[in-house]
Amino acid sequence: MSEQARQLCELKAEIFAAAGHPIRMAIIEFLRDGEKCVCQIAAYIGAERSNVSRHLAVMLQAGLVKHEKQGLKMIYSLTTPCILGFLECVTSVLRQRAEETRAVLENL
């Protein structure tokens, strides 16, 4: 495995990890509706603003979201629409798992 491939894996893993937390996943889902400020996100999720702000910083660093200041508020939005394609895939994985589980249960 080449050093370059290793570094590429680190970058890709960083992006996945940036979505790999319940709160951050909830943020992504919430931002599907459109751009939101930190306080809206925190209210929706029911978490501390400081905590949400830190999670957003992780996502910003990974390139999952972008932000823009509007007066008092910092508005966050998703960067790339293909992130939503991610989610459909994940949902299909979950659906598949659910069906497998059901199949197992039916054979009891």
Partner DNA sequence: TTACTATATGAGTATATTGTAACATAATCA
Partner DNA sequence: TGATTATGTTACAATATACTCATATAGTAA
The site for DNA (CB under 7 A) is made up of: 17, 21-23, 37-39, 42, 47-51, 53-58, 67, 69, 71-74
| Mask for 5-44, x = binds its own copies (CB under 8 A) | xx-xxxxxxxxxxxxxxxxxxx--x--------------x
16 binds, among DNA, its own copies, none (CB under 5 to 8 A by kind): its own copies
Q: Kindly give the interhelix angle for 49-62 and 38-45, rounded to the nearest 10 degrees.
A: 110
Contacted entry of DNA, its own copies, none for residue 12, CB cut-off 5 to 8 Å set by kind? its own copies
Question: Cβ 53 to its own copies, closest distance in Å?
Answer: 18
Alpha carbons 42 and 19: distance in angstroms, whole number: 17
Cα–Cα distance, 98 to 8 (Å, whole number): 33
Question: Using the 8-state DSSP alphabet, how is residue 69 labeled?
Answer: E
> Binding string to its own copies for residues 49 to 88, with x set by CB under 8 A, is what?
--------------xx--------------xx-xx-xxxx
- Distance (Å, whole) CA 47 – CA 99: 33
The secondary element (H helix, E strand) that includes residue 103 is helix 82-106
Q: Which of DNA, its own copies, none is residue 72 near (CB under 5 to 8 Å by kind)?
A: DNA
CA atoms lying within 13 Å on the CB side of residue 34:
0
